[in-house]
């Protein structure tokens, strides 16, 4: 597995910056359309190989592809196997839990270093108003959802995309301030043992990821059985 991973890294390092960026955009587009993860890794390796071959011949990679990158990505996405609904749901849950769960440890570190007024750090304990915690969880959630939309619209104007993305984050910051103005919520203080939080957070991520891998394995098994059945029926 390490040799395969090192081989991929070496291949990526041989790419020109232009081709590396083009392949990154293709991968972003396919990820945002929930292409099967195993297929995505395989097709990405194939595309890297195509790009390296075009570089050896001194050709433009876009000519090798035969289409502009947006059309090429769209065609790949249309013909690729998709993740099942269960895989999509688990991917969304895992990324959401990861983004939201990391908020408290980050708040603890920032509060410990910068002595933020709303945050109190007592050895391993984090003490903060619930409204303050909810505010930053909302901001992180908006950043996550926004990034998914950016990847899905990767072939749109980059200036426009960045502008909309940054504007959405700023709007989330402004709107989330209203949470802190809700007196009942602000007055409710949360006290969390940061080590227990991290252990629970990592445990939940681990369980979700394990379940997701089992679903992927089952999906691949069912697809293989279906292909075998179709092959026998076609004889």
**How sure is the predictor about 196, in pLDDT bands with cuts at 50, 70 and 90?**
very high
The alpha carbon of 210 is separated from its chain's Cα centroid by a whole number of angstroms, namely: 17
Residue 35, beta-bridge partner list: 82
Distance, in Å, from the CA atom of 76 to the CA atom of 92, rounded to the nearest integer, reads 22
For the chain, which residues make up each domain, given as ranges? Answer: 2-79, 85-223
CB 58 within 8 A of CB 102: no
Lowest mean pLDDT among 1-15, 92-106, 111-125: 1-15
Q: What is the mean pLDDT of residues 184-193?
A: 78
**pLDDT level of residue 1 (50, 70, 90 thresholds):** very low
pLDDT, position 2:
46
Q: Is residue 22 helix, strand or coil?
A: helix
Mean per-residue pLDDT of the chain: 83
> Does the pLDDT value for residue 179 go beyond 60?
yes
Model pTM? 0.74
Q: What is the pLDDT of residue 132?
A: 82
- What CATH number labels 2-79? 1.10.1900
Q: What is the mean pLDDT of residues 65-94?
A: 87
Angle at 128 between CA 126 and CA 129, to 5 degrees: 155
pLDDT digits (tens, 9 = 90+) for 36-71: 888 898 899 999 998 999 888 888 888 888 778 888
């Amino acid at each position: 597995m390490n040799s395969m991973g090192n081989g991929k890294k070496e291949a990526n390092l041989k790419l020109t910056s232009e081709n590396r960026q083009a392949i990154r955009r293709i991968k972003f587009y396919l990820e945002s359309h929930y292409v099967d993860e195993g297929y995505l890794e395989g097709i990405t390796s194939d595309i890297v190989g195509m790009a390296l071959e075009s570089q050896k011949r001194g050709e433009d990679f876009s000519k090798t592809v035969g289409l502009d990158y947006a059309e090429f990505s769209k065609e790949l996405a249309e013909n690729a196997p998709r993740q099942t609904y269960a895989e999509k749901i688990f991917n969304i849950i895992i990324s959401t839990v990861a983004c939201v769960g990391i908020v408290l440890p980050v708040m603890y570190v920032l509060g410990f270093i910068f002595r933020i007024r709303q945050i109190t750090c007592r050895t391993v304990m984090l003490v903060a108003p619930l409204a303050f915690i909810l505010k930053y969880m909302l901001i992180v959630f908006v950043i996550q959802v926004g990034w998914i939309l950016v990847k899905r619209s990767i072939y749109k104007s980059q200036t426009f995309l960045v502008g909309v993305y940054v504007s959405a984050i700023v709007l989330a910051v402004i709107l989330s301030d209203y949470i802190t103005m809700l007196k009942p919520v602000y007055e409710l203080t949360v006290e969390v043992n940061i080590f227990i939080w991290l252990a629970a957070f990592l445990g939940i991520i681990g369980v979700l990821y394990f379940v997701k891998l089992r679903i992927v394995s089952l999906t691949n098994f069912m697809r293989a059985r279906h292909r075998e059945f179709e092959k026998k029926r076609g004889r």
